[in-house]
Homo-oligomer: A and B are copies of this chain.
């Protein structure tokens, strides 16, 4: 039984989270000054603790404790170091520093492992600077990433990448892309309220939901709010309201756990005394059953494309799709048994958010461990997890890595 050093974890979380911009919350955009400070600090800790440190071409950092008898058999853990805009203190970073803590504890208690233990700090997952997500894990697993994409300031990904990585090449650091691991375990905050609401301490992730995003465009005719009779309007906003209601009801009827979100809406001309002539709104829908998402896509087209009032037309465009990812059943099962042994109340669940694990799962056996999020809040400065729950996650991860690597 390992006793994680809570104060050290809290100290390290605090150290990284103090690399701040002038913005509210955490703003560690990939390759930005705060990101460089954070990844460099992690490398320094790794070198101090005598990990073998590798940095790849994208700035993803790998801290290895080589195995004694099976050094090429790698048991990996980790997450990403970047954040969303005005993000919280735990998303991504907890999986990186919790993984570091677990490996440090294991080596201190049991010495060098038989298999290599690896902590991975992926360069980027959130898509908060460039118009792509998971670029760290995509690069590691051999998926293509467009080096020419630009951030809002017009800076090319490739230029930002090169100048940032030059800062990470401290003495003792290797520049290479390591081989893929045999397993990958990602420790993460849940980002939702299920664990906290049910009084549970651990979530064992069996799948990451598939998600699709659409934009619906409703075209009517802008006109004077006073002089246009009600029966002679082509009001794009009222039609949008009807569509959103019909879509929401259809989603609920299809499957109650199909998430349906209209998060973004634009009204034109958006003036109180003009009947709206053009409205667009987004649909974000997610589920762990791909067939449900297929069926709902069909329903979206039916509802949106059914002709409504005269002079109004609606259309829908899907602009993002990621399929359901099934994680490794055996690893989740093993972790649930370990949680039981540690007296931790756990549940198997699907993740409603995307994670590096969905990229890693394409190339290796992958699992995730969730800890509770207070009030279910994430991607916001209010994102929080109790110190006790942070500790429990590290405790279970340590047990899992021990079981696999020793």
Contacts and interface: CB of A to CB of B under 8 A. Distances in A.
In the complex, which of the residues A229, A231, A275 has the most CB atoms of chain B within 10 Å of its own CB atom? A229
Contacts of A163: none
Contact of A224 (B231, B260, B271, B353): B353
Interface string A221-232: 011111111111
A309 interface: no
A253 interface: no
Interface stretch (A72-80, A95-103, A172-180, A191-199): A191-199
A351 B263 contact: no
A225 B284 contact: yes
Contacts of A40: none
A20 B377 CA distance: 52
A71 interface: no
B259 A230 contact: yes
A7 interface: no
A245 interface: yes
A227 B272 contact: no
Contacts of A2: none
B272 A282 contact: yes
Contact of A261 (B192, B258, B259, B273): B273
A190 interface: yes
In the complex, which of the residues A211, A259, A377 has the most CB atoms of chain B within 10 Å of its own CB atom? A259
A15 interface: no
A230 B256 CA distance: 7
A377 B223 contact: yes
Contacts of A276: 262-263
A224 B379 contact: yes
A263 B259 contact: no
Given A232-B197, A237-B265, A227 B352 contact: yes
A354 B226 contact: yes
A382 to B, nearest CB: 10
A257 interface: yes
Nearest to A193: B232
A281 B244 CA distance: 16
A252 B235 CA distance: 15
A282 B263 CA distance: 19
A377 B265 CA distance: 25
A260 B270 CA distance: 15
A226 B355 CA distance: 12
Contacts of A248: 238, 241
Given A192-B227, A226-B352, A227-B378, A263 B257 contact: no
A228 B286 CA distance: 11
B273 A263 contact: yes
A191 to B, nearest CB: 4
A91 to B, nearest CB: 10
Contacts of A241: 241, 244-245, 248
Interface of A: 190-194, 197, 209, 211, 213, 222-232, 235, 237-238, 241-242, 244-245, 248, 252, 256-265, 267, 270-276, 282, 284, 286, 351-354, 376-380
22 contacts: A191-B226, A191-B227, A192-B224, A192-B228, A192-B229, A193-B228, A193-B229, A193-B232, A197-B232, A224-B378, A225-B263, A227-B351, A229-B257, A237-B263, A238-B262, A241-B245, A242-B245, A245-B245, A262-B276, A263-B271, A263-B272, A272-B282
Given A227-B351, A273-B284, 4 more contacts: A192-B229, A193-B228, A227-B353, A241-B244
